[in-house]
Amino acid sequence: MLPTRIHFNVLAFVLIAISNARLLADGSDTSPSKTHSAATEHWSKVGWPLLQKYCLDCHNADNAEAEWDLSNFETLSDSDGGVNSMERVMEMVRFGAMPPEDADLPSDDERKQLVEALDQSMFAVSCDTRPRPGKVTARRLNRAEYNRSIRDLFEMDLRPADQFPSDETGAGFDNNGDLLSMSPLLMEKYLSAAEEVAEAVIVDPDTIETLEENRPSDQLYTHGDRKVGSFFGLFMKPNSFVWADFDVRLAGEYRLSFAGGVTPSGAESQIAGVFDETGILVGTMTIKHFGRSGGSSRGEVKLNLKPGKRRLLVQYFGKDEPLEIGTTYRKDFDSLDPAFVKRAHASIKTPLKPERDIEYDDYSVLFRSMSLTGPSKIPDELFPRTQKTLVRKVAPRRGEGWYDVDESAAVCLKPLMRNAFRGPVSDEEVERYADLVLAATRRGESYHRGLQIAVAAVLVSPRFLFRVESPPSQTNGKQPDAAESVALTQHQLATRLSYFLWSSIPDETLLRLADQGKLKDAEVPRQIKRMLDDPKSESLATEFASQWLGVRKLADHDADTEQFKTFDSNLKSSMAGETENLFQHILRQNRPVSELLTADYTFVNKPLAQHYGLSPKNLANTNDDRFVKVSLEATPRRGILSHASVLTLTSNPNRTSPVGRGKWILENVLGTPPPEPPPGVPEIDEAKLSSAGLSFREQLEQHRADPSCASCHRVMDQLGFGLEQFDAVGQFRKNEGGKPIDASGELPGRREFNGAVELSELLGKTETESFARTATTRLLTYAIGRELTPNDRCVVDAIIEETADKNYRFVDLITEVIMSRPFQFYEWQI
């Protein structure tokens, strides 16, 4: 009585695969034909009789319950659906969903024998020849990969993909090549993002607003008696001075130009001292006779100015008067109190009329204009760090024209293109992008603007946006034949490595090894260790683990904030951070994968510690965001099953869900997703059952009274009951509705437990291999970016066998995934 809608994960075979070596441990011939023959014989003697005894009454040609006819399984080669069909049957039997409770049930030993016979048969069918590595789809960078690639390409965390539409997921991950399509909307987003990034990483100096202000005589503020000459010069008495205020926005060296003069003919030249707003001398100029009419003597000083309102004052001195830059102070400037300055501002609004008969001996100094320009060099802090690394060579400029643009642009673009395209680029490719810079300058735009256009073009190139794995052209100009297995090139392998472990582009070390053809053999494990030690490997926690364990969904989860008043976005972020930090710690320390279940420690920050009721000393003086390692020995928590992230996302907004929690364990720990419920099965009538005074556990037990429900719920609910000591947001509790919590349960094989600690330790001890298979399957799926096929079960089997001796340590699993055939080869399709 198999349900009509059976959505089995096609990876479910990883739960109980038995290696070829184990099957033929008696030393018999392990050739493919012998393996297949042995499996067929074992099926005929053991598997088929058990299937006949317990399954064919309901699933035969005349009475195919749920449209499943298993009578054609007698001869495996004739079984409809092949490995996939056998896989579904095996999982239903192992899960305990079939046969139903109202039918004759096999003993535990018979159930185990049937599952083993199915497993051996599938192994023989899938693994008796060299496994095909599977085909590869040209894969677009997803949002996380795009953001991280931009970050590492330019060393700036710009995150433009945060504004992109969400990526679809396949086989549990959002890097599945078959679903990473390119819509018109997304293409527009990529174009906009490329422009924004280009303008952020290269700043055009021509667009930076510098200061260039000229103050003629009628805009100079004065202190002292003055007269205006025919050409509007300010003639003033000795010891008078002028000043001007400037709004300096950029720090740097400025040029102050001054025009004035000494009025009496034959008089000695004088020193024009320039003072700042504090009255300290900052520069001097020698001023000669102004030359009559509209002439003047001119001088310049260079000043280092800070941003802000800057007042510069000019006063004349005799040559013999001691002046020392940085020391000389003029007390006269103290008279520029706010009231005086206000009057001076008002006075220039009413210009004086020019006079022809000025007594130059009395009005012996002339002030004609003052101008400030700069800074002479734009401060480095106004440019992004990428300016020097990207603009390696600036084309020469003469007037408004630029020269040698394409040659200069090629010097800038080639290193960028090599990194962005994740491999070598030819001179012809570089030339096409350099031509964009040349075209920009020819239509009047600056060289730097042209580089921005070229960088944006690089970022919308298919070589950047897509990971395309195709064979190199053969010497005869032909591609490999259809369906031929092809080894990744060195640069393709570098790219697969970096996007698996970093979700980003290869770094210089990987590219250099690929250039030299050295990314192979023992060098690959060395690079894996180096990459996992790099902080960029945190992407395995935030991208891989968060999707595998479902923690990413926590951001969209809602809880009843009336009932759980501290539940907010900050707490949700802290919950996710705990799980990611534990995963990253186990990965970095190369601990056994089962420690995710059994860890007697965790990582909390202040909000999460308060949520758990913990008071760790090492959090006393830290900010809210920092996570610290704490012991769980004296608490009711162990591993990820008691993480608030998992407990919350598997609950309803206002109550726990043993079913949801049990289902999560089946899927993410045991790798055995339950089938969809049969059509027509009613939901639990909570109102009716609650009115009868039943606990939720008792309600579920009544629900399981229906045989069509019992087959799935009898295992799923037991797992969930073990976590009932935690409420809908992961806080520990002892009672519910005034009644003590019953967190006891029993798994197949009479494995009893009571509470989350015993459940976690039980699973960690008895389901170590199952959990390792689940982790391996998810790692391989994520690493190669496609859904696994039955052929891939052989690879998982080999990885599990290879890593068993050291108890399935995480780095070992990752290393074996990378060294596997599906990771290093692909199936070429014309």
477, part of any domain: no
Question: Contact at 8 Å (CB) between 776 and 14?
Answer: yes
Lowest mean pLDDT among 207-221, 275-289, 502-516, 686-700: 686-700
Band of pLDDT at residue 21, cut at 50, 70 and 90: very low
Same domain, 240 and 120: no
80, part of any domain: yes
The beta strands (E) that lie in 608-676 are given as 628-631
Band of pLDDT at residue 89, cut at 50, 70 and 90: confident
Band of pLDDT at residue 12, cut at 50, 70 and 90: very low
pLDDT above 70 covers a percentage of the chain that reads 85
- Note the pTM of the prediction, 2 decimals: 0.81
817, part of any domain: no
The answer to whether residue 688 scores a pLDDT higher than 70 is no
Long-range contacts of 293-298 (CB under 8 A, 24+ apart): 293/230, 293/231, 294/230, 294/231, 294/233, 295/261, 296/233, 296/259, 296/260, 296/261, 296/366, 296/368, 296/369, 297/259, 297/260, 297/261, 297/262, 297/269, 298/257, 298/258, 298/259
Same domain, 229 and 334: yes
Where is the domain boundary, 350, 374, 398? 374
Lowest mean pLDDT among 335-344, 369-378, 709-718: 709-718
Band of pLDDT at residue 18, cut at 50, 70 and 90: very low
Query: CA of 164: how far to CAs of 143, 446, 503, 504, in Å?
Result: 7, 31, 17, 17
pLDDT tens digits for range 424-482: 999 999 999 999 999 999 999 999 999 999 999 999 999 999 999 888 765 444 555 55
Question: Contact at 8 Å (CB) between 609 and 603?
Answer: no
Nearest-CA neighbor of 651 among 723, 754, 583? 723
Same domain, 359 and 240: yes
Alpha-carbon gap, residue 326 to 305, rounded angstroms: 13
Nearest-CA neighbor of 81 among 99, 94, 67, 102? 67
Residue 467: what pLDDT? Answer: 95
Residue 120: what pLDDT? Answer: 76
Residue 91: what pLDDT? Answer: 66
Same domain, 117 and 218: no
The answer to whether residue 4 scores a pLDDT higher than 70 is no
Lowest mean pLDDT among 121-135, 188-202, 313-327: 121-135
Same domain, 248 and 109: no
Instruction: Please list, in sequence order, all residues whose beta carbon lies within 8 angstroms of the beta carbon of residue 759, skipping any fewer than 6 positions away.
Output: 641, 719, 722, 723, 745, 753
DSSP character for 628?
E
4, part of any domain: no
Residue type at 107 in one-letter notation? S
Residue 113: what pLDDT? Answer: 85
pLDDT above 90 covers a percentage of the chain that reads 59
Question: Contact at 8 Å (CB) between 204 and 211?
Answer: no
Band of pLDDT at residue 6, cut at 50, 70 and 90: very low
Alpha-carbon gap, residue 635 to 684, rounded angstroms: 33
Residue type at 365 in one-letter notation? V
Q: What average pLDDT does range 27-55 have in this prediction?
A: 69
Residue 40: what pLDDT? Answer: 76
Query: CA of 606: how far to CAs of 575, 603, 618, in Å?
Result: 11, 10, 10
419, part of any domain: no
pLDDT tens digits for range 702-755: 656 666 566 667 778 899 999 999 999 999 999 887 889 999 998 877 899 999
77, part of any domain: yes
pLDDT tens digits for range 69-79: 788 787 765 45
Place of tokens 């010069």: 233
Question: Contact at 8 Å (CB) between 544 and 779?
Answer: yes
Where is the domain boundary, 766, 800, 821? 766
Lowest mean pLDDT among 182-186, 197-201, 288-292, 774-778: 288-292
Residue 150: what pLDDT? Answer: 98
The answer to whether residue 511 scores a pLDDT higher than 60 is yes
577, part of any domain: yes
Q: Identify the residue with better confidence: 624 or 575.
A: 575
The answer to whether residue 17 scores a pLDDT higher than 50 is no
Alpha-carbon gap, residue 714 to 334, rounded angstroms: 91
Q: What average pLDDT does range 384-390 have in this prediction?
A: 94
Same domain, 225 and 85: no
Same domain, 340 and 246: yes
Domain extent at residue 310? 211-374
Domain count, the chain: 3
Residue 795: what pLDDT? Answer: 93
Residue 10: what pLDDT? Answer: 23
Question: Contact at 8 Å (CB) between 802 and 525?
Answer: no
pLDDT tens digits for range 106-128: 877 888 888 888 777 777 666 75
Residue 616: what pLDDT? Answer: 80
CATH of the domain at 369: 2.60.120.260
Nearest-CA neighbor of 126 among 6, 19, 45? 19
Where is the domain boundary, 127, 150, 174? 127
Alpha-carbon gap, residue 29 to 603, rounded angstroms: 51
761, part of any domain: yes
Nearest-CA neighbor of 3 among 74, 106, 95? 95
Same domain, 577 and 690: yes
pLDDT tens digits for range 96-106: 667 766 677 78
The answer to whether residue 66 scores a pLDDT higher than 70 is no
Instruction: Please list, in sequence order, all residues whose beta carbon lies within 8 angstroms of the beta carbon of residue 783, skipping any fewer than 6 positions away.
Output: 496, 500, 817, 818, 823
- Find the DSSP H helices in 508-552: 508-516, 523-533, 539, 546-548
Same domain, 694 and 583: yes
For residue 347, the SS3 value is: helix
